[in-house]
Amino acid sequence: MNNGKWIFFDLGWTLVDETGAHRVRLETVSKMLAGFGRSYRVEELIRLSEQASTDFAPSPFFALLDRLPISEAQVAAIRTAARYGKECEELYPGVKEILTLLAKNYRLGVIANQSAGTEERLKRWGIHDYFSVVFSSTERGLEKPDPRIFSGALAEAGCRLQDAVMVGDRLDNDIRPAKSLGWRTIRVRQGHARFQEPRSAVESPDIVIENITQLPAAMARVWVYPDPRHSTK
């Protein structure tokens, strides 16, 4: 029986493993750099993009390109050619089972920065029907960390502020904006953002889990913590 509480999920690096898609893109970058006389292995580029994420770059990929010793024209050429391979994305192991379990007691939604076609991708992954609300940046014209995307999702869900939990990997895009509005927050330490460290109390999640399989146990604890509206600055 649903208890009136909601869990909103980020997608990339939270429910969806972007490792393959990211690697395909960086393989293209590596080949183009070789053509420009610059030798960078894919593993080196991965480390540089992880560092950009650690530094809270809004787009680690674009920040990576801007940090390379190449011309603006070469950066522009790579941006055009280095396609992100969404067909290489896949769910993290156990996601369907986790959503099935959580849907017994909570309403589920999505708040994600995604290119067009989010609902179709959710269907392709076989998880679309778990979500009552899907708030995707391209379709909604809003992008995290803009607080309006969180407020809009809350309004569409008909969810009370105190009944909302945000689950995501990024402190800057997921935890800070949600917590600043008074949501409960759970950080999943997956993907490039796992290296981020909180810079203030509002970036400190209520709970940190190491992978998405730990979420059901974390949900049993999240409402034990004080109301975030009275505990953040």
Q: What is the pLDDT of residues 13-62, one digit of tens each?
A: 999 999 999 999 999 999 999 999 999 999 999 999 999 999 999 999 99
| Mean of per-residue pLDDT scores for the chain | 95
* Per-residue pLDDT tens digits for 110-132: 999 999 999 999 999 999 999 99
Model confidence, pTM: 0.94
Spacing of C-alpha 31 from chain mean position: 28
**Residues 20 and 54 sit within 8 Å (Cβ to Cβ):** no
Contact (CB, 8 A) for 190 and 14: yes
**DSSP code for 12:** B
pLDDT at 224: 80
The answer to whether residues 192 and 63 touch, using CB atoms and an 8 Å cutoff, is no
- Domains within the chain, CATH numbers bracketed: 6-17+89-230 (3.40.50.1000), 19-87 (no CATH)
